[in-house]
Amino acid sequence: MIELNTLTYLFMAVAGVVSLIATYLTIVENDLVKAVIFSALQSTVYTIIYYLLMAPDIALVYIPVSVGLYPAVILFLIKKTERTEGDLEGSGGDSLIGIYLTALAAVLIGLITGLNAYVFQNQPKLDAPVGIPAQVSNALISGTLFFFNLSEYLAVASGFTLVFMLLSIPEEIVRSFISGEAHE
């Protein structure tokens, strides 16, 4: 007889695979409205993962932001600028480099000192004695969580600043700037 734990892990596995496919399609898609809908699909799958990990308060906050408000703002922005993305690469921001470095920090320390270490490792474990300290002279930084939070704050803040700047310019000026007719 399978028990309740097996059903929970099975559902988390299926949800993880579906969310991975949805995330890949969000990045690759050229039609921006479809990309927003795939992002909403990924957020819906993430709420069931948060629920199964017994965190209902995180799910309660994640649903209005990712399914309710974020597609509304981006759809309003798409109505103002352009519908399909060209062949230009997105700039992405340099704070993603901060996230990469923080994830690989324990591995780099392990490679240099010759110890065993894992990717995304935060605190020392039994067989991997590499870790990032939880406190620095009475200030709580909780290992890698501080750096992850800082990098994500910078990335999201720069993204939303760009969105609100674009939303405050009248539509004709933005369209003529994108199609290359007007110049400064």
Query: What's the full length of the chain, in residues?
Result: 184
Q: Which of 23, 29, 32, 33 binds another protein (CB under 8 A)?
A: 33
Minimal distance in Å, beta carbon 164 to another protein?
Answer: 18
Stretch that binds another protein, among 2-10, 115-123, 141-149, 161-169 (CB under 8 A): 2-10
Structure tokens at 32: 């921006």
Is 139 near another protein (CB under 8 A)?
no
Contact (Cβ atoms closer than 8 angstroms) between residue 84 and residue 30? yes
Comparison of 40 and 141: residue with beta carbon closer to another protein: 40
- Give the interface segment with another protein, choosing from 20-28, 140-148, 155-163, 165-173 (CB under 8 A): 20-28
Instruction: State which residue, 79 or 125, has the beta carbon closest to another protein.
Output: 79
- Residue pair 128/138 in contact (Cβ under 8 Å)? The answer is no
End-to-end Cα distance, the chain:
71
